[in-house]
């Protein structure tokens, strides 16, 4: 069984991108570390409660984050979130200089 780390009120399995690709951890809280492959796309969502959604890729996995982190292509980041099969809904993004957290 992989190691776990506590972040906030939850525990997250520390995994590699390859360990996620077999699908065993679908629906679980996970933490991965990797390099951002592309420019982050930040969308403004002007529905009832205005918000932002940031998307980018790490190891072919789509990462979605509710907010506007200051991240860019080639940056090493740690992602804490829920694995949904083809991507991760991030609850936190940790960079060398900052920690970005969204509400749970």
Spatial CB neighbours of 82, under 8 Å, sequence gap ≥ 6: 27, 28, 29, 30, 88, 89, 91
Instruction: Give me the pLDDT at residue 104, please.
Output: 64
Instruction: Give me the pLDDT at residue 50, please.
Output: 81
Instruction: Give the tens place of pLDDT for each residue, 17-48.
Output: 988 888 889 999 999 999 999 999 999 988 87
Q: Say which residue, 58 or 47, is predicted with more confidence.
A: 58
Question: Is 89 within 8 Å of 12 (Cβ atoms)?
Answer: no
- Report the predicted TM-score, pTM, of the whole model to 2 decimal places: 0.92
Q: Is the pLDDT of residue 68 over 90?
A: yes
């Amino acid at each position: 069984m992989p190691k776990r780390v506590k972040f906030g009120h939850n525990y997250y399995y520390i995994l590699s991108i390859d360990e996620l690709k077999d699908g065993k951890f679908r629906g679980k809280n996970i933490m991965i570390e990797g390099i951002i492959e592309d420019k982050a796309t930040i969308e403004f969502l002007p529905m009832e409660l205005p918000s932002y959604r940031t998307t980018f890729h790490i190891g072919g996995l789509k990462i979605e984050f509710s907010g506007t982190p200051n991240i860019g292509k080639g940056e090493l980041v740690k992602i804490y979130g829920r694995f949904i099969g083809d991507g991760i809904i991030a609850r936190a993004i940790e960079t060398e200089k900052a920690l970005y957290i969204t509400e749970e």
